[in-house]
């Protein structure tokens, strides 16, 4: 809708001008509202980080996953056990040897999916 020009007869203009103090108060108020909106997520993260055992479990899970994909973390994980690593990399979803059934191993399927190779050639996330 077009605006009429301010002429003092039909349209009058009302302007509120804030000083420096008022602008700072409004800025602080808007900041507090934004922090209040994020606070529940920060509280959940803080509860997780309060428990040292939980932090170790998360770090250990990440380290195990990285070592299964060939990235050495320096932590002793189940991926360091040759028998377990061989079982994961040589078996398909049903637990049979992947070479005897012709199916790829679970590890190979996940690796192909993440890199976008093999049967996942050109698909998300590796082949985008």
- Domains of the chain by residue range: 81-128
Question: Do 52 and 61 meet the contact criterion of CB atoms below 8 Å apart?
Answer: no
pLDDT bin (cut points 50, 70, 90) of residue 64 is: confident
**Is the confidence at residue 123, as pLDDT, over 70?**
no
Cα-atom radius of gyration of the chain, to the nearest Å? 30
Residue corresponding to tokens 């103090």? 21
Q: What interhelical angle do 20-50 and 52-68 show, nearest 10?
A: 80
Residue 75: predicted pLDDT:
79
Residue 8: predicted pLDDT:
66
pLDDT digits (tens, 9 = 90+) for 78-89: 777 776 667 766
Q: Which pTM was predicted?
A: 0.36
> Alpha-carbon distance 88 to 82, whole Å?
10
């Amino acid at each position: 809708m077009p605006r009429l020009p301010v002429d003092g007869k039909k349209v009058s203009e009302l302007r509120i001008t804030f000083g420096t103090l008022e602008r700072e108060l409004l800025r602080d108020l808007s900041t507090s509202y934004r922090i209040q909106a994020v606070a529940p997520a920060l509280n959940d993260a803080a509860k997780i980080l309060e428990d040292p055992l939980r932090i170790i479990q998360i770090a250990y899970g990440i380290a195990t996953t990285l070592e299964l994909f060939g990235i050495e973390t320096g932590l002793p994980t189940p991926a360091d056990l040759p028998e377990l690593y061989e079982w994961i990399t040589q078996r398909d979803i049903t637990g049979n040897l992947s070479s005897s059934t012709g199916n790829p191993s679970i590890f190979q399927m996940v690796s192909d999916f993440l890199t976008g190779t093999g049967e996942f050639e050109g698909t998300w996330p590796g082949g985008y």
